[in-house]
Amino acid sequence: MELLHRYEGNPILTADMWPYPANTVFNCGATRLENGDTLLLVRVEDRRGISHLTAARSRDGLSDWQIDPEPTLLPDESPGSDEIWGIEDPRIVFLEELGKYAICYTGYSHSGPHVKLALTKDFRTFERLGSVMPPEDKDATLLPRRINGRWVMIHRPVSAFTGSADMWLSYSPDLIHWGCHEVMLEARRGAWWDANKIGLSPPAVETPEGWLVFYHGVRVTPAGSLYRLGVALFDLEDPSKLIRRGNEWIFGPEKEYERVGDVGYVVFPCGYTIEDDGDTIRLYYGGADTAVAMAKGSIREILDWLSTQV
């Protein structure tokens, strides 16, 4: 059963649409603004290889993109900076309590990738809260609300001990100090599509049945890595409690714009929006680390499919 359907106008954003020179535009955070418009915060890789983030806005979330004429959020490239090699892969969540959007993104430091956090009200000015997880760690998001008084972050540290990469949870009273770390979801082993290396894709989706989490699995093959997407469901009041995990991936690189590019065979969603019907989810994803594409599905259908998994 096909749970996610590609938009026929894919890819929706490419480097040749950019108002200034760019190598590639791909993994983007997504949100719907108060007026219903879609905002994508797009990872733009420049022609040195360093990434920054630029906002693109659209009425219908598909066409007529208004792209900021200049980079929206640039890395600090000053000597000693912990994002000297760029900022990447933003995940956006609206925090009702603060009336602000939280953006978790990857800062690329001399010691490797790590998690950074910024807040904004308008995607024009940003409050940078700095580094919240040391290297190597990425694929992070906040949950949109506190659970039992604490903010919750999903992230993906890499173990130097096993070399594998699993998803973890951490908790904070103030968004700055994080602790009580615990495993959320482990990569499988062996031949599985999600063996050895997994990571959160877009932010978790709150549903009446639990947190619906789309995650990527990286299958390493002699010809390179395959990035595919799967789903799992976690308890609403205790997100460390796995309710169910899909066995098969639900989305993988098939189309030319997913198979051919700077890094082929990659689909990498970092954001979603929900249509006015409250059920249709639009995943915005990077295709082959080169362009932005969209695929949509029904949250109800995905939950029903998950309930068949043992």
- Interface with ligand BMA by CB under 6 A: which residues? 27, 88-89, 227, 263, 266, 268, 286, 289
CB of 145 to ligand BMA, least distance (A): 27
The conformational region for residue 149 under phi > 0 = left, psi -120 to 50 = alpha, else beta, is: left
For every residue of 9-51, DSSP letters joined together read: T---B-GGG-SS--SEEEEEEEEE-TTS-EEEEEEEE-TTS-E
Query: Could you give the angle at the alpha carbon of 6 between the alpha carbons of 196 and 193, nearest 5°?
Result: 15
Report long-range pairs for 51-59 (Cβ below 8 Å, ≥24 apart): 51/75, 51/86, 51/87, 51/88, 51/108, 52/86, 52/87, 53/87, 53/90, 53/105, 54/18, 54/25, 55/123, 56/13, 56/28, 57/33
Question: Toward ligand BMA, which CB reaches closer, 187 or 266?
Answer: 266
CB of 291 to ligand BMA, least distance (A): 12
CB of 276 to ligand BMA, least distance (A): 30
The two three-digit tokens of residue 216, written as one number = 């990527």
Find the farthest-apart pair of alpha carbons in the chain and give their distance in angstroms, rounded. 53
**Cβ-contact 11, 287 below 8 angstroms:** yes
Task: Name the residue with the smallest CB distance to ligand BMA.
Answer: 263
Question: Toward ligand BMA, which CB reaches closer, 215 or 268?
Answer: 268
Question: Toward ligand BMA, which CB reaches closer, 29 or 286?
Answer: 286
Q: 55: part of which helix (H) or strand (E)?
A: strand 51-58
Question: Toward ligand BMA, which CB reaches closer, 68 or 289?
Answer: 289
CB of 198 to ligand BMA, least distance (A): 11
CA–CA separation, 68 and 201 (whole Å): 25
**Cβ-contact 271, 209 below 8 angstroms:** no
Question: Toward ligand BMA, which CB reaches closer, 105 or 123?
Answer: 105
HSE-up (13 A, CA, CB side) for residue 57:
13
CB of 216 to ligand BMA, least distance (A): 8
CB of 237 to ligand BMA, least distance (A): 31
Q: What is the DSSP letter of 222?
A: T
CB of 268 to ligand BMA, least distance (A): 4
Question: Toward ligand BMA, which CB reaches closer, 6 or 197?
Answer: 197
Question: Toward ligand BMA, which CB reaches closer, 13 or 233?
Answer: 13
CB of 255 to ligand BMA, least distance (A): 16
Question: Toward ligand BMA, which CB reaches closer, 268 or 284?
Answer: 268
Peptide bond before residue 11 is cis, with ω within 30 degrees of 0: yes
